[in-house]
Structure 1
Amino acid sequence: MSDAAQPDFFGFLHVDLNSFFASVEQQLHPEYRGKPLGVVGTMADTGALIAASYEAKALGIHTLTKVGEAKKICPEIILVDGSHSVYSEYSHKIAVAVERCCPVAHTPSIDEMACQLIGRERVPATARKIALAIKQAIRDDVGSTLRCSIGMAPNRYLAKIASDMQKPDGLIGLLPSQLPRAIAHLDLRDLPGVGAKTEARLNAKGITTMEQLLALDRNGMHRVWDSVWGDRLYHWLRGSDTGDDGAPVPSEVQKSLGHSHVLGPEFRTDEGAWAIAHKLLHKAAMRLRMEKFYCGTLAVTIKYALTREQAARAEKSKKHSSGIVHQGWGMEARFRDCQDTLSLLDVLRNVWKQRPRGAEYERPFFVGVTLRELIPESEHQATLFGDPDNRAELSRTMDRLNLKFGHTTLHFAGMLPARESAPTRIAFTQIPVLYGAEYM
């Protein structure tokens, strides 16, 4: 793509909801407004906050701060057990409000929306009016505590960057004529897709600042990333709306789906972990059918907490975000593609029997179940002998009842101990979908 000057237009708006989960709680509970508040997945002190209100952030409490540490910093902090269904409902309401001002072209996560501008909408003054109208629509239609930062830029990547440059309630525009100097002051970690590992890799190659990265030509960017991603980034950071250079476009076909859960203390036994795994499979199998897929592989992951002595002897150990030192085990099983819960449960049982035994494997604290090699229903080949046990019909009957009355209304007995545990976790990158009476 040519680096010739581009018209000073905006192509995208990126709407980023500020402290979304905490703001929803403050909208629902007026008594929480103006006070430090944290949303948690578990109330244990070893758990981490998944959101913090701006009052809490002002005290140094942020997302991923340990619950115990947050209490030390602010003993009067309000801690709220997060609700996936409530946040999903509010995300939907906000999307409707945004749509009233400009069509939503892409939803990267539960608290982000991107709008593509066309025609005269791309003129900076008009784009700014649209952004202000979005802010007002969210306040009017959803609630006064729901604030957002909006980034405007010639491409979606830069619009995302701009939305993070001023919080809360910010509005920043990056025009082609201002690029790339307008982002030269940012940190490398401010770039979407650059996490701790990528930053370390860039540092190892001599790139420690944004100015150094922007000084590279396209070939230099390709070498630093060792992939076509560097070429794309070169163009995006200079305001181009593309820059693929003929590289293959990643497939949009979904490859897997699943659920994972950090076990509560009462479930950190073999029996408790199995009950949780059973429930995770129940939810994943239901999603599989709702999204009209079959699958051909099931993967199980278990993480086991280690004592200090066990960690010292272990060849490999890791530290969980909760602070738990652990070692993990995982196994994958392949089978003829299916989608009914009973068949998948048979596979899960066989995999579960293979889990390791011994003193180091007596304290499971994390379980994940993932269904892979997804096949659209339209491409599934039925077996020659059909379904003699009517397993597919049994699953469909369960789905009809669960969609009407709640996702755990009818289930197999093995998950009974965990029926009320392992709720659907707060969705970040997974966009919540309303299946019957509940979001999943």
Structure 2
Amino acid sequence: MEPALQPDFFAFLHIDLNSFFASVEQQIHPEYRGKPVGVCGTMADTGALIAASYEAKALGIKTLTKVGEAKRLCPDIILVDGSHSVYSEYSHKIAEAVERCCPVAHTPSIDEMVCELMGRERELPRARKIALEIKQAIKDDVGETLNCSIGMAPNRYLAKIASDMQKPDGLIGLLPSQLPRAIAHLDLRDLPGVGARTEERLKAKGITTMQQLLDLDRNGMHALWESVWGDRLYHWLRGADSGDDGAPVASGVQKSLGHSHVLGPEFRNDEGAWAIAHKLLHKASMRLRMEKFYTPVMSVTIKYALSREQQGRVKTKKHSSGINSTGWAMEARFPDCQDTLSLLAVLRNLWKQRPRGPEYERPFFVGVTLRELIPEADHQASLFGDVDNRAALSATMDKLNLKFGHTTLHFAGMLPAREAAPTRIAFTQIPVQYGVEYM
């Protein structure tokens, strides 16, 4: 029995900013407009671009292209060191411009926003008018180089798909009466949540095209995914609202926070790696206090570059930068705390246990993560009080760093790396402003 024909309407608008970081750079620097621009996560040939302008994309340069390869494809490409604070500021400005036209219901990432339409806003002409007003508001309020593609659909999952169907500056609507045939031409990888591994798993089960996927009934989709996700996806792709509309399921209390960094060439030694680790902890512990958590667990990860001769002697992996490497990681448990001095003592003890030898002389990546976060309200105070007034010391540091910048006051160990390891762009984490800077 065929499902009853649904009335045509749009319930969600998904706003996807086109080449956001590169477009911001072109807005700030008019001399970059009309030219290929690449935004770097790390200014080294082994680093990868985190964004490319459409002029660069036309030359085959895209996100995650190695910096060295981008230079080869376009010797004249303008390479820019990405600024988390600047892009965060622009993201907030854009959200304000969108809010002038329609309330923002969800912010999946720094360059995406979702609006939920209500009442007569769901009618086709009105929804399209709102979408066009959003595009114009972004240009009027934030900048003429900032384009966005907007997807309109009866649920969030389809709206996300629609926003990717026409770039740049696209506006695509997927109506219930057109589904699922309107998406039958897409690739499996065009579905949110379907990456390379999932695509391979689907192919192993005989599903190689979108049409084959759409031909499955609900039971077939459940069996294919081996979970209720298959049932949800069956309904989403046909325009139904299953309650969560493809939104991530909340996992309760935040479990961890941390920072990692690919070291610049000048820091690829023991002293430089320690200074970078120190700075990463400085930032993580400040965030821990700002977000009102304690932690009882810290983990440290170090990755080491290997020469060709060394690769046969230890377990080797290829890093995303292309570097053949080996790695080390260790975790420590301790009485939960949030002050920098206590956490620094834990980091120092972990660092002493890092491996030694010829294969571990060229660190190129360091990560520090605080785990099993405990909300302040659930923290059990120590019977012995605040040893050495460490909480007061951290509070004083925070007060000055929030006012003058996050590295204004710090412990001496991170001095060599004070200007290194800047806050990197968080694609899926909504940026938060603490004091004068974003994290």
Band of TM-score, shorter chain = over 0.9
Distance 1:374 1:215 in 2: 44
Contact 1:236/1:243 (<8 A) preserved: no
Contact 1:84/1:426 (<8 A) preserved: yes
| 2:124 counterpart residue number | 124
Per-residue CA deviations over 1:308-342 (Å, capped at 9, x if unaligned) read: 1222333x322112110112111111222211111
| 2:230 counterpart residue number | 230
Distance 2:206 2:153 in 1: 29
| 2:359 counterpart residue number | 360
Give the 5 Å matches for 1:69-80.
Answer: 69-80=69-80
Give the 5 Å matches for 1:33-44.
Answer: 33-44=33-44
Are 1:391 and 2:393 counterparts? Answer: no
| 1:295 counterpart residue number | 295
| 1:106 counterpart residue number | 106
| 1:263 counterpart residue number | 263
Structure 1, 324-333 or 274-283: larger mean CA deviation: 324-333
Distance 1:344 1:55 in 2: 46
Contact 1:301/1:329 (<8 A) preserved: yes
| 2:142 counterpart residue number | 142
| 1:190 counterpart residue number | 190
Distance 2:223 2:422 in 1: 44
| 1:425 counterpart residue number | 424
| 1:340 counterpart residue number | 339
Are 1:220 and 2:220 counterparts? Answer: yes
Distance 2:196 2:316 in 1: 19
Amino acid in structure 2 at the alignment position of 1:339: Q
Structure 2, unmatched stretches of 5+, are none
Secondary structure of the residue that 1:356 maps to in structure 2? coil
Per-residue CA deviations over 1:87-130 (Å, capped at 9, x if unaligned) read: 11111100000000000011111100011111111111111000
Distance 2:244 2:124 in 1: 26
Distance 2:198 2:99 in 1: 35
Contact 1:48/1:322 (<8 A) preserved: yes
Distance 1:249 1:77 in 2: 40
The alpha-carbon deviation at position 281 of structure 1 amounts to 0.5
Are 1:282 and 2:282 counterparts? Answer: yes
Secondary structure of the residue that 1:390 maps to in structure 2? helix
Amino acid in structure 2 at the alignment position of 1:155: N
Change (3 A) 1:357 1:227: farther
| 2:435 counterpart residue number | 436
Distance 2:348 2:276 in 1: 13
Distance 1:194 1:311 in 2: 33
| 1:22 counterpart residue number | 22
Secondary structure of the residue that 1:133 maps to in structure 2? helix
Amino acid in structure 1 at the alignment position of 2:128: R
Distance 2:6 2:112 in 1: 27
Distance 1:389 1:235 in 2: 59
Distance 2:145 2:260 in 1: 31
Change (3 A) 1:3 1:373: farther
The alpha-carbon deviation at position 364 of structure 1 amounts to 0.8
Distance 2:42 2:332 in 1: 31
Contact 1:14/1:112 (<8 A) preserved: yes
Indicate the percent of aligned positions where both proteins have the same amino acid. 85
Distance 1:404 1:46 in 2: 36
Structure 1, 394-403 or 35-44: larger mean CA deviation: 35-44
Are 1:60 and 2:60 counterparts? Answer: yes
Change (3 A) 1:402 1:77: same
Amino acid in structure 2 at the alignment position of 1:195: G
TM-score normalized with structure 1 length: 0.96
Structure 1, unmatched stretches of 5+, are none
Distance 1:35 1:383 in 2: 59
The alpha-carbon deviation at position 250 of structure 1 amounts to 3.9
Q: CA RMSD in A?
A: 1.6
Give the 5 Å matches for 1:309-348.
Answer: 309-314=309-314, 316-348=315-347
| 1:203 counterpart residue number | 203
Contact 1:258/1:368 (<8 A) preserved: yes
Distance 1:403 1:3 in 2: 57
The alpha-carbon deviation at position 218 of structure 1 amounts to 2.0
| 2:308 counterpart residue number | 308
The alpha-carbon deviation at position 147 of structure 1 amounts to 0.2
Distance 1:306 1:170 in 2: 45
Secondary structure of the residue that 1:328 maps to in structure 2? strand
Change (3 A) 1:4 1:260: farther
Contact 1:232/1:243 (<8 A) preserved: no
Distance 1:228 1:142 in 2: 42
Secondary structure of the residue that 1:157 maps to in structure 2? helix
Amino acid in structure 2 at the alignment position of 1:388: V
Change (3 A) 1:244 1:287: closer
